[in-house]
Structure 1
Amino acid sequence: MFTTRPTLQGTFGMASSTHWIASQTAMSVLEDGGNAYDAAVAAGFVLQVVEPHLNGPAGEVPLIVAPAEGPVRVLCGQGVAPGGATIEHYRSLGLELVPGTGPLAAAVPGAFDAWMTLLRDHGTLSLERVLDYAIGYAERGHPAVERVGETVETVRELFETEWTTSAAVYLPGGRPPAPGQLLKNPALAATWRRLLAEAAAAGPGREQRIETARRVWREGFVAEALLAASARPTMDTSGERHTGTLTGDDLAGWEATYEDPVTYEWNGWTVCKAGAWSQGPSMLQQLALLPGLTADDVEFGDGSGEDGAAGGGFRDPAFVHRLIEGTKLAMADREAWYGDAEGAGSVPVETLLSDGYNEARRALVGDTASRELRPGSPGGRTPRLAAHATEVARGRDAFRMAGGTGGAGAAGAGEPTVARDGATRGDTCHLDVVDRWGNMVSATPSGGWLHSNPVIPELGFPLGTRLQMTWLEPGLPNSLTPGRRPRTTLTPSLALRGGVPVLAFGTPGGDQQDQWQTHFFLAAALRPRVRGGLDLQGAVDAPNWHTESFPGSFFPRAMRPGSVTVESRAGRRMTDGLRARGHDVEEGPAWSEGRLCAVARDPETGVLSAAANPRGMQGYAVGR
């Protein structure tokens, strides 16, 4: 089997992330005696430094935690809407959508508290040791990857004229950082050093210091700076300057929480996802539309390119058509049913994953591509879509609704498409770790990007923008509601066999995440094994695709009915076959779809494995 890299195998520890420095940081922590959770926390903070265009400390992170002994749990690091973030307030400002940038789009920051909670409950090392790596790279600098400078260039005018505190960090010498140029963030390093000093003053206890750090974030100098930033009039994607709604009570009253994952049994696997406040169950719905699928039902290329399917991906257009149409059905349900809703409006996840419901949905998949947004009626309930989503689905002012981007494939490697006003499709990072004891974690940090809000000069990072995913229309599962989480696209994955954690994986990519992850999981589960284990790298390398036949989660909530973007490596047989079935096929660059990370553990042999995505030339897996 031809792959870009080998699937790594070993017995000590494995880490995979979207940046090689974060992966090696995680491995260094494992070598230093830490466990998978210590390693994930250290690498998570490093990702905030080396991928500032994809995540930041005031963003969010959902995690799936699988201890060697104990149940799998979801740790929710997605903050809620502030108390003043009401539909009435935003409508009074003349807004139809939550802006894609600026303090009005900021939820209560969630990432920091989630990382601290993971370290406190599951880690073993001190706060000082896990933060040391991020502090070092922020102080001494790290070689900037190409995408950092490219992202900054798209918002250079905004930084120079409006967000000047961001220019001070990300336009060193008046120019975006060149590839390989050392990029420093001394203000961020100083923030972590001050936080450590205040935590140390609380006493010598490990947990006591972590708890003090959490309090300083929520109520101390960090909170004061976050609140000042929210109150500062800021130019956003509406073209106006607005202030945010974040208050001290919002910060002090929120903390990361644990919950049970949503699971689905598929062909001997138990796939675990975050709840319907994320888009995670949509992957499970896609699997529910494929019951009883076996390797004999799927035709794979050999990876040589001679068979027209370079990378060893799925070769049969009829099968890929079936996957695409299933994605459309699952995402239509996401639009109608998913959100952080309670009571009578709660999300009917059990019914959405039931055999009867999916048998009826499966019957909707025909021989040609659908251009309709077709949510189902679980339990006889009538689906309701946001008015904006319905208008987009009907094609009103299609170019404006599509953001004029020319399709996601044009951006390359799943990176965010950014306009001068900071509008972005959004993107993120991913991180998976497994240690020699069998502890496993999958995390998808995001938000608080360098182009989400101006850098807070006292802290070295900006607020996030996750509220842009909510609707300014009452009565929907994902309506903007104080105290509720915006429905996020962030969706780490973990899969078990026989009740034992085997595979952790995930990807950046906004709305594409649970499309690319479904394709990866099917390939990993169904492809021939390599050296006795899952062919993780083969599944990562396989040509991927995505559809935008549903309203996007990011401002301006675009939709392209019937679209499918396919990597050119998929071959002419695939693209011609999909076009013959009525799909509007856009051929993306050869390596542009999906940025998967994955680690695995064979419960019978204890052998660990890992793989990472070569697209974008950033992701890497390490281990031994």
Structure 2
Amino acid sequence: MVASTHWIASATGMSVLERGGNAADAAVATGFVLQIVEPHLNGPGGEVPILVWSETDQEVSTICGQGVSPAAATIEAVTALGLDVMPGTGLLPAVVPGAFGAWTLLLELHGTMTLRQVLEPAIHYAEEGHPLLKRVSDAIGTMQELFTDEWPSSAATWMPGGQVPAAGSCFRNPVLAATLRRVISESEAAGGSREAQIRAARDCWYRGFVAEAIGDFCADNEVMDTSGERHRGLLTATDLALWEPTVEQPLTYDYHNYTVCKTGPWGQGPVFLQQLALLEGFDLSAMGPGSADWVHTILESCKLAFADREAWYGDPNFTDVPMAALLSPEYNAQRRLLITDTASVELRPGNPGGAQARLPRYPASPAGYENLIGSGEPTIAKSGETRGDTCHVDVVDANGMMISATPSGGWMQSSPTIPALGFCLSTRAQMFWLQEGLPNSLRPSARPRTTLTPSFALRDGKPWLAFGTPGGDAQDQWSLNYFLNLVHGNMNLQEGIDAPGFHSTHMPNSFFPRDAHPAEVYLESRFDSAVLDELRRRGHLVVVGEPWSEGRVSAVARDDGWLKAAANPRGNQGYAVGR
């Protein structure tokens, strides 16, 4: 079974399984195709966290494909440019592109196919073309002026002939296809085993011609970004050479008879676990999905967990994140007392183990930020078809291997295309703070605290569900809602996705310009009007959205001897397939 955010990518993964590949082979092929067909949501210069259930090892592991900040990326270096917030676009917020390293490490450790076999579909769609999504065409249209006036290499890549390509037209990226072909050629020339050639490909990417082209482009170009000024990048070839993807143990939390696995606090994944720890004290089954009590209780738990994210999360290689205390019964019993029948309008982090919480100084949002081009994840404008998020893929194979991955970054609208490579860089460093002494302060060679957060759950100790969603700060809200729909609402995989969704914008945005909207909640119009009225009465600032606008969840499962999959119908793009 394969489920992802794009039908071509899911079909690619399924074709790999049908040719004898396993879940790792299929996930890698799917991931690289997503870079081609959803370039407004991810790219080769982006990042990906991956959760893997191995039947051989009988455990879940995390592959961290989150690249780090440049060695030259100090607070002093950036504030000396007259900035107090890292720009959301351009070259200055570029980090090491970790996606290629993570996907190839997954292939090396868990796959069976060669790099050529899993890259061939992506090369085909880059070289021969694919039907351009309307959202991609709209995004290029929105970026047209910036591409033409400031980022000519992006104009050359995304506007062939100087025109915005039409939705449904056959779109090609031959330069990117050539880059991938060269990586394969050089890795195969290195010889040796399948695994040795995959390692040679990583060397080619991080210590070869790809790294050199990235370093040269960042050094030689000053480009316009969301600060309104032009800046060079700090990223160098040496930064790429020193980075490697890593394998880590996931963080887990036992909720009733389920064990949920998430990444470490270099991502926002632990907020899912913190919300479970708070919700364990409520009878959600009695409330029922979609009721005012259900929505209110989840929202108020969400606000407390995300406040802790703001105060405590960061790269644990550089800061002490008190996860054991944050997930402890004592701490959550105390925090649970803050949840009342009235919507909170405050950002209230806790003090786990007696440690004193410290929040960033959040910038005031100057007028006009809402119309900025290219900021967010990867929001272009805060209205219409051009609003994007990221990607997701889930795979399970006949032998029981299960994978959940959330690729993102390297969006075509985040930074200029590198002409020699055909892709652009991730601007994930926008998530750092230019303030000293915070868990997520800008530091050299550190991981930014991202929003990317794949999910995995065991039921009664057995692997059950791989799932996730795009959506920035909403990811660990939509995926949590989905999990609770299944656990407490007794819904099947597709019913849980189709149920009316909601998310809070109470917490500060993780992306430039870091705006927050206390007590605000977005709900689909399919909610009962009486529920919406009751939420308003409790003090929530209710924003009613389109009937199918909340969530991008996909999932695969091993359930009572069956393999199952489900995909998101919103946007008519997600696709689940299996046999």
TM over 0.5: yes
- Determine the structure 2 residue equivalent to 1:618: 573
How many residues were matched structurally?
Answer: 572
One-letter code of the match for 2:564?
A: S
- Determine the structure 1 residue equivalent to 2:357: 383
Matched, 1:329 2:297: no
One-letter code of the match for 1:501?
A: P
| Equivalences for residues 39-188 of structure 1 within 5 A | 39-70=26-57, 71-188=59-176
One-letter code of the match for 2:191?
A: G
- Determine the structure 2 residue equivalent to 1:265: 254
| Equivalences for residues 201-280 of structure 1 within 5 A | 201-231=189-219, 232-280=221-269
CA distance in structure 1 between the partners assigned to 2:261 and 2:72 by the alignment: 34
Shift of 1:208: 1.7
Which deviates the most, 286-295 or 557-566? 286-295
- Determine the structure 2 residue equivalent to 1:567: 524
| Equivalences for residues 403-414 of structure 1 within 5 A | 403-404=369-370
Asked whether the 8 Å contact 1:267–1:292 carries over to 2, the reply is no
Shift of 1:204: 5.0
- Determine the structure 2 residue equivalent to 1:608: 563
Asked whether the 8 Å contact 2:214–2:237 carries over to 1, the reply is no
Shift of 1:426: 6.5
| Equivalences for residues 7-46 of structure 1 within 5 A | 14-46=1-33
Shift of 1:290: 1.2
Q: Deviations over 1:423-480 (max 9, x none)?
A: x986210000000000000000000000011111111100110000000001100000
Q: Deviations over 1:547-579 (max 9, x none)?
A: 111111100001011100111111212211111
CA distance in structure 2 between the partners assigned to 1:347 and 1:608 by the alignment: 37
Asked whether the 8 Å contact 2:93–2:430 carries over to 1, the reply is yes
One-letter code of the match for 1:90?
A: V
- Determine the structure 1 residue equivalent to 2:497: 540
CA distance in structure 1 between the partners assigned to 2:182 and 2:366 by the alignment: 49
One-letter code of the match for 2:353?
A: G
Q: Deviations over 1:363-412 (max 9, x none)?
A: 10111111111000000111001112xxx5xxx45756xx4369xxxx9x
| Equivalences for residues 349-388 of structure 1 within 5 A | 349-388=323-362
CA distance in structure 1 between the partners assigned to 2:527 and 2:490 by the alignment: 19
Q: Report SS of the residue matched to 2:97.
A: coil
CA distance in structure 2 between the partners assigned to 1:397 and 1:24 by the alignment: 42
One-letter code of the match for 1:238?
A: S
CA distance in structure 1 between the partners assigned to 2:203 and 2:377 by the alignment: 34
- Determine the structure 2 residue equivalent to 1:303: none
Gaps of 5+ in 2: none
Q: What do you get for the CA RMSD once the two structures are aligned?
A: 1.8
- Determine the structure 2 residue equivalent to 1:589: 546
- Determine the structure 1 residue equivalent to 2:435: 473
CA distance in structure 2 between the partners assigned to 1:120 and 1:341 by the alignment: 26
| Equivalences for residues 502-513 of structure 1 within 5 A | 502-513=464-475
| Equivalences for residues 334-349 of structure 1 within 5 A | 334-342=309-317, 345-349=319-323
Q: Which runs of 4+ in 1 moved over 6 A?
A: none
Aligned in 2, Cα 1:425/1:375: closer, same or farther, shift over 3 Å? farther
Q: Report SS of the residue matched to 2:350.
A: coil
Q: Report SS of the residue matched to 1:155.
A: helix
Shift of 1:35: 0.3
Matched, 1:486 2:443: no
- Determine the structure 2 residue equivalent to 1:11: none
Given the two structures, how large is their TM-score scaled by the length of structure 1?
0.89
- Determine the structure 1 residue equivalent to 2:277: 288
Given the two structures, how large is their TM-score scaled by the length of structure 2?
0.96
CA distance in structure 1 between the partners assigned to 2:431 and 2:530 by the alignment: 37
Shift of 1:298: 3.2
Q: Report SS of the residue matched to 1:621.
A: strand
CA distance in structure 2 between the partners assigned to 1:324 and 1:129 by the alignment: 45
Aligned in 2, Cα 1:125/1:340: closer, same or farther, shift over 3 Å? same
CA distance in structure 2 between the partners assigned to 1:553 and 1:561 by the alignment: 15
CA distance in structure 2 between the partners assigned to 1:211 and 1:296 by the alignment: 49
Q: Report SS of the residue matched to 1:404.
A: helix
Asked whether the 8 Å contact 1:453–1:463 carries over to 2, the reply is yes
Aligned in 2, Cα 1:321/1:437: closer, same or farther, shift over 3 Å? same
CA distance in structure 2 between the partners assigned to 1:293 and 1:243 by the alignment: 51
Asked whether the 8 Å contact 1:75–1:256 carries over to 2, the reply is yes
CA distance in structure 2 between the partners assigned to 1:416 and 1:129 by the alignment: 30
Q: Report SS of the residue matched to 2:476.
A: helix
Asked whether the 8 Å contact 2:287–2:293 carries over to 1, the reply is no
One-letter code of the match for 1:195?
A: V
Q: Report SS of the residue matched to 1:468.
A: helix
Aligned in 2, Cα 1:405/1:239: closer, same or farther, shift over 3 Å? closer
Q: Deviations over 1:49-68 (max 9, x none)?
A: 00000001111000001111
Which deviates the most, 207-216 or 29-38? 207-216
CA distance in structure 1 between the partners assigned to 2:175 and 2:413 by the alignment: 17
One-letter code of the match for 1:203?
A: G
Asked whether the 8 Å contact 1:536–1:598 carries over to 2, the reply is yes
Asked whether the 8 Å contact 2:285–2:489 carries over to 1, the reply is no
Asked whether the 8 Å contact 2:2–2:576 carries over to 1, the reply is yes
One-letter code of the match for 1:19?
A: H
CA distance in structure 1 between the partners assigned to 2:177 and 2:285 by the alignment: 54
One-letter code of the match for 1:582?
A: G
Asked whether the 8 Å contact 2:377–2:472 carries over to 1, the reply is no
One-letter code of the match for 1:621?
A: A
| Equivalences for residues 409-428 of structure 1 within 5 A | 416-419=378-381, 427-428=389-390
Shift of 1:296: 3.8
One-letter code of the match for 1:137?
A: Y
One-letter code of the match for 2:459?
A: R
Asked whether the 8 Å contact 1:505–1:598 carries over to 2, the reply is yes
Q: Deviations over 1:104-141 (max 9, x none)?
A: 11111100011110000100001110000000000110
Shift of 1:146: 1.2
Q: Deviations over 1:532-551 (max 9, x none)?
A: xxx01000011111111111
Asked whether the 8 Å contact 1:294–1:526 carries over to 2, the reply is no
Identity %, equivalent residues: 58
